[in-house]
Structure formats: C-alpha cells, structure tokens
C-alpha cells in the first residue's frame, strides 16, 4: 500500500489563543505541524481561556522572534503551507504593531517565497476598511497588501472578536463593575477559537485566493455580553457607560506616553464604535464559555 506524505504546515503564533486551536485542528485533520514560537513552554499547559496544550502534538518547533527578522529565516524550509496569526495583541515594551503584524509577517512571506511554499493563510480583522485609523489594523492591512502583491496563493481570514477577548469583559464583571465605552448597543458576533480554527484549516485545502469574513453563531450587544458575564457569575450587574470622547482623550494622552499601547487601545476604541456582525459559523456559545470561566477561581 502506498502512503501519502502528510502536508507540512508552519503555524506562526502557535502559542496564542487562536494559534493553539489551529495547531490542534491541523493535527486532527492529518497535517504535520511545525510551530513557530518565541517560548516553547507556552505550548505545554492549558491556557487561561482554555487554549489546548499542544506541545505533545506538534511535530517540530522553530524558535523565532518577529522583532528580529533574521531569526525567521528558513522557518518555511520544506513547508507546504504557512498559517500566520502572529500578531501584537498586548502591549510589549517598545514594540509596535508595524514591527510584528506587518514587518514580521513580511519576513515570513519572503521566506515562504524563497522556499516555494504553496499557500499562505493570514489572519487580519473584520471591517478593517472601517478602522484604518487604528495602527494595529493598518499594520495588518499593509501586510495583506504585500501578500496580495506577492503572487503566492493566499487566504485572508477576517474574524470578529474571539472568546478570549470576551474574557476581558468577564474579568471586569468578576471585579463587580464594568465600565463600557459607548452606549452598549453596538452588535457583534464573537467566535470561539476552535470554531475559527475549522475555517482556517478549511482555507488550507481550497485552491486559489480568498478573503473570508467570519463570526460566531450568536449576535449580542455589548450590554448583553456584559449582562451575560454577570449572570454566569451570579452577580448583580453594574455597568457604567462612558462617552466615547473619554476614550478619545485617554488615547490622545497615551499616544504621547506609550505608542505600542496606543495602537492596541485605538483598536479597542474603533471596534466599540461600529457593529461587527460577520457571516455566522460555529457551534460554540459565549454563554457556555462564560459559565466555564465562572467555575475557575480568579
């Protein structure tokens, strides 16, 4: 009997929320995974938002840091597909979204081109065109521009918010009081990492180029989301709405003090201003995620 060699995929950002779900999904669907990480220890245990431990299932590790593009050289050697959700989502000292989301991924793309990779799958954001004032969104889209121009077959996935970001609302609710920018009526459909991972791995198997907007199965307002968090905790809801200008002033001040933080906060502000409802997929519900978080101490 002739056995087909497994396709090899490089997962960049493999230690993150989405990355770990994607590693698991690729392995379960028969791919061999090389994980690109800065710190392999992060793959070992379950994450704070129930990210699966994947240290035992990745076939190879590649240690690299997007800040130092030379450390990414040969990450794509003998790889068929590159998947990247490598991005700056939390402030890191003196590091900007441009360095990671744009230039780090660009270095990976150049390596992929030099090694004859067949396809590059990249995670940007839903509604990017409405949020180009955010440094983080701009950095994502500068990379998307490079990817489209590269000639390499690609898929760009454009998700709404992930459940790990909803974990942030949950931790405020646990403290007993949520401060929300805006009137809380904007709507969005957040998605679980495992549901999004299915979409990402489906994209690996499709031919040609694609851009895929995707959100989770349920749509909520920000108020409903926070009420659900209080309910899961069995706490009396306390939500204070702050006018958007409070966020704008905070952003203006932070801009002078801390540019990396400014990029991240400007994204949070941009997202709060608009409805973010993408085509729905998946089977996992935020209500259940909150109930599970409520069973953990904190």
Ligand X SMILES: NC(=O)c1ccc[n+]([C@@H]2O[C@H](COP(=O)([O-])OP(=O)(O)OC[C@H]3O[C@@H](n4cnc5c(N)ncnc54)[C@H](OP(=O)(O)O)[C@@H]3O)[C@@H](O)[C@H]2O)c1
Tell me which residues touch ligand X (CB under 6 A): 13-19, 38-39, 42, 65-67, 85-89, 100-101, 104, 123, 125, 159, 161-162, 164-165
* Nearest residue to 143 (alpha-carbon basis) of 70, 88, 201: 88
Q: How far is the CB of 160 from ligand X (least distance, A)?
A: 7
Q: How far is the CB of 190 from ligand X (least distance, A)?
A: 7
- Name which of 89 and 281 has its Cβ closer to ligand X: 89
Distance CA 139, CA 262 (A): 13
Longest dimension (CA), the chain: 67
Helix or strand holding residue 155 (H, E): strand 154-159
- Would you say 214 and 279 are in contact if contact means Cβ atoms under 8 Å apart? yes
Q: How far is the CB of 109 from ligand X (least distance, A)?
A: 14
Q: How far is the CB of 199 from ligand X (least distance, A)?
A: 12
- Name which of 167 and 237 has its Cβ closer to ligand X: 167
Q: How far is the CB of 158 from ligand X (least distance, A)?
A: 8
- Name which of 101 and 218 has its Cβ closer to ligand X: 101
37, 281, 125, 278: CA torsion to nearest 10: -170
- Name which of 232 and 271 has its Cβ closer to ligand X: 271
- Name which of 15 and 223 has its Cβ closer to ligand X: 15
- Would you say 17 and 41 are in contact if contact means Cβ atoms under 8 Å apart? no
Residues in the chain: 298
Q: How far is the CB of 234 from ligand X (least distance, A)?
A: 26
Q: Phi then psi for 226, rounded to 5 degrees?
A: -70, -35
What 8-state DSSP symbol labels residue 152?
S
Q: What's the burial of 210, exposed, middle or buried (CB within 10 Å: 0-12/13-18/19+)?
A: middle
Q: Is the dihedral of CA 13, 15, 19, 24 positive or negative?
A: positive
Distance CA 3, CA 5 (A): 6
- Name which of 116 and 211 has its Cβ closer to ligand X: 211
Helices (H) and strands (E) in the chain, counts: 10, 11
Left (φ > 0), alpha (ψ -120 to 50) or beta: where does 116 sit? left
Q: How far is the CB of 290 from ligand X (least distance, A)?
A: 16
DSSP 246-263: HHHHHHHHHHHH-HHHHH
Q: How far is the CB of 89 from ligand X (least distance, A)?
A: 4
């Amino acid at each position: 009997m002739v056995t087909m060699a497994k396709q090899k995929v490089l997962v960049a950002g493999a230690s993150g929320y989405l990355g770990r779900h994607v590693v698991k999904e690729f392995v379960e669907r028969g791919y061999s995974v090389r994980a690109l990480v800065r710190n392999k220890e992060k793959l070992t245990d379950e994450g704070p938002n129930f990210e699966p431990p994947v240290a035992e299932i990745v076939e190879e590790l590649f240690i690299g840091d997007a800040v130092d593009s030379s450390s990414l050289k040969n990450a794509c050697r003998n790889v068929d597909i590159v998947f990247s959700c490598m991005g700056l989502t939390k402030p890191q000292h003196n590091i900007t979204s441009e360095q990671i989301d744009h230039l780090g991924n660009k270095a990976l793309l150049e390596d992929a081109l030099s090694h004859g990779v067949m396809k590059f799958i990249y995670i940007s954001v839903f509604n990017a065109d409405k949020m180009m004032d955010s440094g983080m969104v701009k950095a994502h889209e500068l990379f998307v521009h490079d990817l489209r121009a590269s000639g390499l077959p690609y898929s760009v996935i454009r998700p709404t918010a992930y459940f790990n970001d909803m974990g942030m609302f949950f931790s405020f609710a646990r403290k007993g009081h949520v401060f929300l920018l805006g009137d809380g009526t904007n709507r969005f459909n957040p998605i679980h990492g495992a549901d999004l991972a299915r979409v990402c791995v489906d994209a690996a198997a499709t031919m040609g180029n694609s851009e895929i907007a995707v959100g989770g199965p349920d749509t909520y307002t920000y108020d409903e989301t926070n009420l659900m968090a209080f309910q899961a905790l069995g706490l009396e809801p306390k939500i204070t709405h702050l006018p958007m200008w409070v966020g704008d002033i905070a952003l203006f001040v932070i801009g002078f003090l801390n540019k990396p933080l400014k990029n991240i906060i400007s994204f949070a502000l941009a997202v709060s201003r608009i409805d973010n409802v993408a085509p729905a997929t998946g089977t996992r519900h935020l209500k259940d995620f909150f109930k599970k978080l409520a069973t953990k101490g904190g």
